[in-house]
A and B are shown apart, each in its own frame.
Chain A
């Protein structure tokens, strides 16, 4: 499986993260997105006329949408990441997969503007990003009331991986996640998953120090 990849792209990271979590290996083909703009040149436009990355190739299959890639990797190696198949859970999972595209547009747009000087209406992108974070926070709180720590289920699914990167990197675009305790707890739960991998700007959880020994008074 060949991934056309940019190390700083949160959408590419979704695919790398999903592969790591499900134990799949990817053949990485680095794309000079910045400063080279290689994703807009002939070779990659021939694969993806939309001019976006990631692009995933596996035999005859050519995918240009990151949500489809997550579903493909999960279906191939770890179907438990696709939910339990009930109507309600499948619908919730699809709801958040679609929602994740709004995060790409607003939080991702703000990040590209603030970090790599891409054009955009920064005030509007940040306001839309805040609205999306509030919606995500509400969704996570409601899931919590149902006893479920993740977006669509009581275990992580592709929906969580689709939403996590742009949320975790929101501060890169000048949008704070400090006001959202449910998002911070959820983000921590994802970073604590076995085989989690980081990307620049998303730091790994450092191992917690052992509990301090409280004196018994008999020293």
Chain B
């Protein structure tokens, strides 16, 4: 229930392209907030009591914090790379812990069962060995050398390919995924999951992408990612316990869960426990 450590973090609170001069009412960690755009074109975020909150516009979204952010929003250098298309996938509300939403995004083993015939397929269910580390300098969780056979890895993929992934957790409720880019093998496609914690067991999820793909229509790119995420949503809403357990207990991790283990360890190290369950039940 401790939200102190997460108070000073940045969170997405809206799609910048959809913010209007009339305020959009939402919430951040239980606090009702309002998001609008001012006459100068800048985003304005306030509590409903009128306190002006810090705000930024980055990666297609308005970001804010109910605390006092000590650092800038994490960087995604690819977001400034020419030639990429930026995809605002749009919000999806999920009745789950914001930390669970991120943890599910980091999981590879569920691809053949939940995203059948798209991100995975039986019998190709094995998660090969990969590398996970908590990088001290960046203070981020990284999983690299992840390889998985995927029938349709991206909208731009034709037929099954072995896809390579890197996962990165730069903030407690955000993850960035780097993935084989079928039309440009020397580059990575960037797929993010930005999660806005509304409450400990309720979140708005804002997926966003920066892709090399000049063929597929924007609507098709949006629908591909919405399809994937909506396959996850019903699973996320049925996970028990609702909060993410940080102490060992009912859940027994296996080798395939290395990223999840590192994520939980990193959350615990920083006392990022809003949406977490601390004592095993």
Which residue in chain A gives the minimum CB-CB distance to B91?
A: A117
- Contacting residue for B90 out of A30, A34, A114, A203, CB 8 A: A34
Which residues on the B side are within 8 Å of A116 (C-beta)?
90-93
Q: Contacts A30-B223, A32-B218, A32-B222 given: A114-B230 contact, CB under 8 Å?
A: no
Contact of B92 with A35 in the complex, beta carbons under 8 Å: no
Cα A38 to Cα B220 in complex, Å, equals: 13
| Interface presence of B277 (CB below 8 A) | no
B116 near A30: Cβ-Cβ < 8 Å: no
Contact check, A38 vs B219: say whether CB atoms are below 8 A apart. yes
Instruction: Please determine whether B95 and A114 come into contact, CB atoms closer than 8 angstroms.
Output: yes
| With A32-B219, A171-B237 as contacts: A8 and B226 at CB distance below 8 Å | yes
- Interface size, A (range): 20 to 34
Interface residues of B toward A: which range? 20 to 34
Q: Which residues of A contact B92 (CB under 8 A)?
A: 115-116
User: CB-CB < 8 A to A200: which residues of B?
Assistant: 226-231, 233
Q: B233 contacts which of A6, A7, A38, A115 (Cβ < 8 Å)?
A: A115
Could you tell me the dominant secondary structure of chain A's interface residues?
Answer: loop
Looking across the interface, which residue of chain A has its beta carbon closest to that of B230? A200
A149 to B237, CA, bound (A): 30
B88 at the interface (CB under 8 A from A): yes
What residue of chain B has the Cβ atom nearest to residue A32's Cβ? Answer: B219
A31 CA / B219 CA spacing, docked (Å): 7
A200–B15 Cα distance when bound, in Å, is: 23
A77 to B90, CA, bound (A): 37
Question: Among A8, A30, A35, A203, which residue has its beta carbon within 8 angstroms of that of B18?
Answer: A35
Confirm or deny: A179 has a beta carbon within 8 angstroms of a beta carbon on chain B.
Answer: no
Chain A residues at the B interface, C-beta cutoff of 8 Å: 6-8, 30-32, 34-36, 38, 114-117, 171-172, 174, 200-201, 203-204
Having A117-B91, A200-B229, one finds 14 other A-B pairs with CB under 8 Å, namely A8-B226, A8-B230, A30-B219, A30-B220, A31-B219, A35-B15, A35-B88, A36-B90, A114-B93, A114-B95, A115-B93, A116-B92, A200-B228, A200-B231
